[in-house]
Amino acid sequence: MPLYRDDAIVLRTHKLGEADRIVTFLTREHGKVRGVGKGVRRTSSKFGARLEPFMAVDVQLHTGRSPRPGMGLDTVTQVETIGAYARAISQDYGLYTAGTVMLEAADRLVSQEHEPAVQQYWLLAGGLRALSERHHDANLVLDSYLLRALAVAGWAPSFEDCARCGEPGPHHSFNVAQGGAVCPRCRPPGSTAPAPETFALLSSLLAGDWVTADASDARHRKEASGLVAAYGQYYLERTLRSLKMVER
């Protein structure tokens, strides 16, 4: 498979040498892939503008001399734009900081290169499109993306039934380490007690119920964002560096 083609989202880029970039993609069929874009930092580059973070592209890569996919860097040979989300996102600082957290989270959640991660790809593509089209508040899109991406990765929170014993809810306590809502019997010390409206907002963000989410008020959005951030960082086991720059 010296040449392969896939739909991809550009997660991040690093400068390499004089005018090249190492580009990290989240592809639809090949999972996370890293490739070298040769000469893309030059203003005369044919596809440098398409290899920016947030861009959804149709990319062709060459595996080069690496013995099998995932060993070493591939070379980017062609790029076509599918969704130019970078322009709209970078022109609004709130969208940019929220979008950057989404890219960083996707990069962390898909840790192995060349391992297919189709659901993560579609989730990120949908999230970036929603962000760039400004249908909803940027922080709501970010929180919904984080909850759903964690759920796809196997860390689905429970906002209704007790996350520990399964006792049907609604419950009034939330514990990150237990996986969400906890009943009075399972409630460990140090659990928080969010407002019922915050639980409803979190459930709607996880389910993609935008009517409920859009109707929520600022106080509950702020409380939900704090819980989502704590939940995400706990299960990702590392701090999301870009999260502290999000304007809440």
Partner 1 sequence: MYEGAVQDLIDELGRLPGVGPKSAQRIAFHLLATDDQEVKRLVDALTEVKLRVQFCALCGNVAEAERCRVCLDPRRSDDVICVVEEPKDVVAIERTREFRGRYHVLGGAINPIENVGPDDLRISELLARLADGTVQEVILATDPNVEGEATATYLSRLMAHMGITVSRLASGLPVGGDLEYADEVTLGRAFEGRRVIGNDK
Min CB(1)–partner 1 separation in Å = 27
Q: Is 238 in the site for partner 1 (CB under 8 A)?
A: no
Strands 31-37 and 55-62: unpaired
CB 59 within 8 A of CB 81: no
Min CB(236)–partner 1 separation in Å = 14
Among 63, 97, 198, 216, binds partner 1 (CB under 8 A): 97
First-last CA distance in the chain: 46
Among 2, 3, 17, 196, binds partner 1 (CB under 8 A): 17
Is the bond preceding 170 in cis, omega lying within 30 degrees of 0?
yes
Q: Is 12 in the site for partner 1 (CB under 8 A)?
A: yes
Q: Which CB contacts under 8 angstroms, 24+ apart, belong to 237-242?
A: 238/108, 240/101, 240/104, 240/105, 240/108, 241/104, 242/97, 242/100, 242/101, 242/104
CA–CA dist 236, 77 (Å, integer):
33
Among 100, 175, 191, 225, binds partner 1 (CB under 8 A): 100
Among 9, 103, 176, 181, binds partner 1 (CB under 8 A): 103
Q: Which stretch binds partner 1 (CB under 8 A): 194-202, 206-214, 222-230, 237-245?
A: 237-245
CB nearer partner 1, residue 19 or residue 230: 19
Q: Is 25 in the site for partner 1 (CB under 8 A)?
A: no
Contacts of 88 (CB under 8 A, 6+ apart): 95, 132, 133, 134
- Give the distance between the most distant pair of CA atoms in the chain: 65
For the chain, give me the number of helices (H) and strands (E)? 7, 7
Among 52, 74, 143, 223, binds partner 1 (CB under 8 A): 52
Min CB(51)–partner 1 separation in Å = 10
Q: Is 242 in the site for partner 1 (CB under 8 A)?
A: yes
Contacts of 154 (CB under 8 A, 6+ apart): none
Min CB(95)–partner 1 separation in Å = 9
Q: Is 139 in the site for partner 1 (CB under 8 A)?
A: no
Q: Is 78 in the site for partner 1 (CB under 8 A)?
A: no
Q: How many residues bind partner 1 (CB under 8 A)?
A: 32
Q: Which two tokens stand for residue 103?
A: 């890219």
Min CB(35)–partner 1 separation in Å = 17
CB nearer partner 1, residue 33 or residue 51: 51
CA–CA dist 4, 223 (Å, integer):
45
* Interface residue list for partner 1 (CB under 8 A): 12, 17-18, 43-44, 46-47, 49-50, 52-54, 81, 84, 86-87, 89-93, 96-97, 100-101, 103-104, 107, 241-242, 244-245
